[in-house]
């Protein structure tokens, strides 16, 4: 098995906030991330696919296809957007890095696995100091 990874990035605004909590409780639990007027990040997303290299091409997956898929299903929906307000696949979800990572996995899994290989990991950097990895519901 070979694991191949493609990195893409997007810039987005978000806040960590529950409408069913007071501002005080939001601030207490989420700290600076609860700022009602939003803040934002330069996110980096790493998508890892595993499989066997094809005999003819030496490819596990065509990176041109993978990059285009990530752009259409993830980057175009998140880049220069507000994660809480603008993103269909994050509707009614917490805009935490953890939940966003799982949602990105769900955007990609079926189309990657239809290519005869497997989505192995989605890794999402919120800052250079914090990142999340998800390996699917296993």
Binding site for a copy of itself (CB under 8 A): 1-9, 11-14, 16, 18, 29-33, 35, 37-42, 48, 53, 56-60, 63-64, 79-82, 85-86, 93-99, 101-102, 127-135, 138
From 14, 17, 117, 126, the catalytic residue: 126
Of 14, 34, 35, which is closest to residue 95 (Cα–Cα)? 14
Is 33 among the catalytic positions? Answer: yes
Distances from the Cα of 96 to the Cαs of 16, 17, 62, 131, 136, in angstroms?
7, 10, 31, 11, 17
Is 117 among the catalytic positions? Answer: no
Which is closer to a copy of itself, CB of 76 or CB of 113?
76
Which is closer to a copy of itself, CB of 12 or CB of 119?
12
Q: Residue 40: beta bridge partners?
A: 13
Query: In angstroms, rounded to a whole number, what is the distance separating the alpha carbons of residues 39 and 12?
Result: 9
Is 39 among the catalytic positions? Answer: no
């Amino acid at each position: 098995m070979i694991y191949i990874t493609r990195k893409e990035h997007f810039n987005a605004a978000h806040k960590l906030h529950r409408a069913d909590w007071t501002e005080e409780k939001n601030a207490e639990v989420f700290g600076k991330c609860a700022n009602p007027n939003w803040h934002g990040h330069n996110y980096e997303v790493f998508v890892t696919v595993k499989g066997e290299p094809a005999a003819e091409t030496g490819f596990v997956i065509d990176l041109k296809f993978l990059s285009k898929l990530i752009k259409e299903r993830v980057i175009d929906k998140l880049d220069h957007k507000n994660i809480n307000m603008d993103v269909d696949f994050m509707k009614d979800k917490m805009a935490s890095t953890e939940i966003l990572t799982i949602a990105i996995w769900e955007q990609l899994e079926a189309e990657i696995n239809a290519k005869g290989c497997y989505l192995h990991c989605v890794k999402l950097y919120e800052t250079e100091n914090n990142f999340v990895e998800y390996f699917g519901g296993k």
